[in-house]
Every structure is written in C-alpha cells, then in structure tokens.
Structure 1
Amino acid sequence: MKTKFSKVLLRCSAILIFCLTLNSYAQDTGTKRQELDSLTKVMFEHTNNKNYDALIDITHPKLFEIVPKETMVTVLKSMLEGNEEMSIDIPEQHPEYKISDVFKDEENNSDFAFVSYALHMSMTFKNQEFDEDTKNSMVQMMKLQGMEAEFVSDSTISLNMPNSMTIMINDESTNNKWAMINYDPDSPMFFQILSAPVLEKAKSYYQDLMIAHKKKE
C-alpha cells in the first residue's frame, strides 16, 4: 500500500514540476516578446525622428568592431539627409509588423528573433536623369531584390519593401539586452557579426516571408 502511495505521490510531484516549468517558460517567453515589441516600436520612433545616435545605441555592438560608431552616424546622416550624389527619403510611417518566435542559439548562448514589416522610401539621384530603358532596368533589378519600384520622375524612384526584416539578438556581447541588425545578406559585414545558426535561421525565415508574399500576389 505504501509503495502504491509513493508511486502516486511521485507521479503527482512530476506533474507539478512539469506544470511549474511550463508556466515559468511561458512567463519568460511572454517577457521576451514584450521586450521585442518595445524595441521594435522604439526602432520605428527613432527612424521617424531621424534620431541617428539613438538608432546606433540599439544596434548590435559587434558592428562597431568593424565600423566605428562615429563613422556609422556620419554614413546614416549622409544617406538620409543627402550628399552630392543622392538622397533617401523615409517618410514617417508606423507599419504593421510581425515578431517571430524567440529562438535559441545553443552554441553561443544567445536568444534571437526576427521582426518583419513593410518599409516605404524614395531615392533621388542628384544631377542625373534616366531614360526609359535605364528606368526599366533599374525597376527589374530592384524587383530581383524583393522591392517594388516605380519612377515618379526621371531622377526619383519610389520603393516599397514589403519583406523588410530586422534581426534582434540578446547575448553576452549586447550585455544581455536586445540589439538589432538589419537583414542584409549582400553585406560581408553581416556574416562577420552573426553566428552560423542565426544566419541559417534568418535565411530560411526570410525565404518563407518571400514565398508567403508571392502567394498573395
């Protein structure tokens, strides 16, 4: 009788531990998603306000091991405020966004997630106008990169990027806080900063976004 009671007690204890663990995991996941949601809203807010220093502050710090912060701020200002060759205009926008599940990179003891959204902007080329053939070629080139493009003048092109994606990382290098880096597989720096597990997951997640968008067309 005592043996049967002990077995029942053991099973109840195991179930209780499982429930407590599951509840703890759910609370932890919920907290992480709240943090990610908050950071995403901050990212859009800083972009709308053209607050370059604040954007740099929430960018993954490993980037600055390659490019100094001061240089990155200068590049951002030059790109968004314009230089002698071109300027980029990102109008104020509050796009809908989707936050992925939180994934674990066991090899590097880090958490990561993806934020996807549509982004609109326009590019104006100064002292340069394009003929129709060149415009068509540029529009097709943009399309191959997942962008919807349309020339609104001979020197300005309007861009819609329906599958923009930002990677959020939380690890020791970020002081265990969430930091961001835009998904840009064409940049060599991108591969220097992120680990192989994150790169692999980012690639498959982005491909799924592209396929889902294609099905809606």
Structure 2
Amino acid sequence: MPIIAHNAAELAIRPFADRFVEVVQSSFKDWLEGPYASQMQTKAFRAQVVSNQMRANAKRIFDGMDGIRVESVPHYTGLLVGRDLFIRMKKADKKLLSRNYPTQNALASVDQDRDLLGGLARLELVYQLNDVGTAIERIVLLQRQKQSVVWMIDLFGASPMAQNVLPFAPEPAGEGTSVAKRIMKPKRKSDSEKKDVSTG
C-alpha cells in the first residue's frame, strides 16, 4: 500500500513548496485575467481552465529543475517528485476533497489500497477558493484515502509548511488493518434525536 508518512513527504517536497504555490496562484491569475472569467457559466468550466493552466505553468516553472517534472502516466498527469511521489493538482471543496466524475480511474486514484503506479505514493496538491470564488484561500498538499484525508501540509493560507495530521488510532500489532478501516467517522444524530432537539 503506497502510503507515505507526512514527515517523509514534507522532506521530499520542501525544495519545491514555494513553487507549488506559484503554480496554483499563477494559474488562477491566468483565469482572472483571461477572456472567459467575466462570462463564466459553470464552476466546472473555471476548474477546467485552472487545471489546464496548472499543467502548463508547472511545465514552465519546473523546466530544467532537478528532482521534479510534469509526467503523464496511464490515465493521469501530474508532478513526479524524485522516484517516489506522484502529485495530481486539483481543486478542493471545503473538506479538502477533490471532486471528479466517479469513473473507475477517478475512484482508483484516491484508493491507496490499490498500487496503480508501481509503488509511487500518490498525493494531491489542492486549492480552495474563497466563498465567492474570486481568490485562492488555501493551498494544501495531502494524501487521501477514498473520502478521508490521511494527512495534510498547508502551503498557503495557514502557517507555511504546518503539519496537520489527523489523529488515527495506532494499528494493532499483527492485524495489518488498512488506513481506511482505522479512520474514525463522526457519529451522526438519528432522526429521533433530531426531532427531540427541534421540539425541545
């Protein structure tokens, strides 16, 4: 299972952290200053334009730099850092989850139980917009397991390079449970509990 510890990932990406921020910010600036922002009809179109520009700007920014390059592998394009990390660049929602149409490839890309790239750890470089969609609010590098964030490193919008690791129960010795099975999910109120609150 290609899970990488947050401290190992931070060490690997530290030389490029400021450039990651530059890739995202310059791409959103391209959108704002381009001919289509004032005519935007759907948020999906904006996300597609910014995604395109992130690839184009990453190629320009990392051109000739040692240890990182834009790479296309079957079904995915992203940043290859060293020989161990593959980073996709995506827009995220308020929970820091990227959104894709749920094709088999999209679902597989966030399932760390599946080794899709010969042992490469798969990460996401994601950005959040402010509530009105006019500015970048946050840029985060993270590793995701299905619908949960395993760990994250804030690059912009919080303390730079601050490590925010979600608390996991330690894995019981010898049981070999996956990260997905160890994630605690918040308890939801039942319909009867909601009625008691509303009528109380």
Select the structure that is richer in helix.
1
- Per the normalisation by structure 2, the TM-score is 0.23
